[in-house]
Amino acid sequence: MSDFSAWYDALAKPKWTPAPSVIGTIWTIIYPLIAVATVATIVKVVRGDLPRIVLIPLVLNLASNAAFTPIQFGLRNLPLATVDIAVVLVTIVWWLALAWRPGSEWIALVLAPYLVWVSIASVLQVSITLANR
């Protein structure tokens, strides 16, 4: 067992916390959806079908998503990881709102499972952070 796994396993967590294998499976499904939505958004911006401003939440989302694991497991900083996942959640909603335009609604629909999962993960993160103060 890796050092970060032992650390995470030792944290107080709510009873409804998904098993690590479930979390991994969910991300295995969601990351390709994020990739499809990212490429489609960039193509639509280049073509002029979406405003360039949509790239702001997209980039912030990808950066904050990528930062979560190093913050949570590298730094073991639960409060900062909570702030980070809040940024992930807010930028998904922002991205969805900007992408919801005629001909681009499907991008928002592709991102919907990501929004649902990050909403659940955000509640989980807040619960873990509060339980381990």
Q: Is residue 84 part of a domain?
A: yes
- Which structure tokens are listed for 56? 């702001």
- Asked whether the predicted pLDDT for residue 19 surpasses 90, the reply is yes
CA–CA separation, 36 vs 31, rounded Å?
A: 9
Domain count, the chain: 1
Residue type, 10: A
Helix (H, G, I), strand (E, B) or coil at 133: coil
The count of other CB atoms within 10 Å of the CB of residue 85 is 25
pTM: 0.95
Q: Is residue 94 part of a domain?
A: yes
Q: What is the predicted pLDDT for the residue at 1?
A: 58
Q: What is the predicted pLDDT for the residue at 112?
A: 97
Q: Is residue 25 part of a domain?
A: no
Q: Is residue 15 part of a domain?
A: no
The residue ranges of DSSP E strands in the chain, in sequence order, are none
> What residue numbers bound the domain in which 132 lies?
51-133
Q: What is the predicted pLDDT for the residue at 4?
A: 80
- Asked whether the predicted pLDDT for residue 5 surpasses 90, the reply is no
Residue with tokens 């497991």: 73
Q: Is residue 57 part of a domain?
A: yes
- Asked whether the predicted pLDDT for residue 2 surpasses 80, the reply is no
- Asked whether the predicted pLDDT for residue 113 surpasses 70, the reply is yes
The 10s digit of each residue's pLDDT in 20-52 is 899 999 999 999 999 999 999 999 999 999 999
Q: Is residue 33 part of a domain?
A: no
> DSSP label at 73?
I
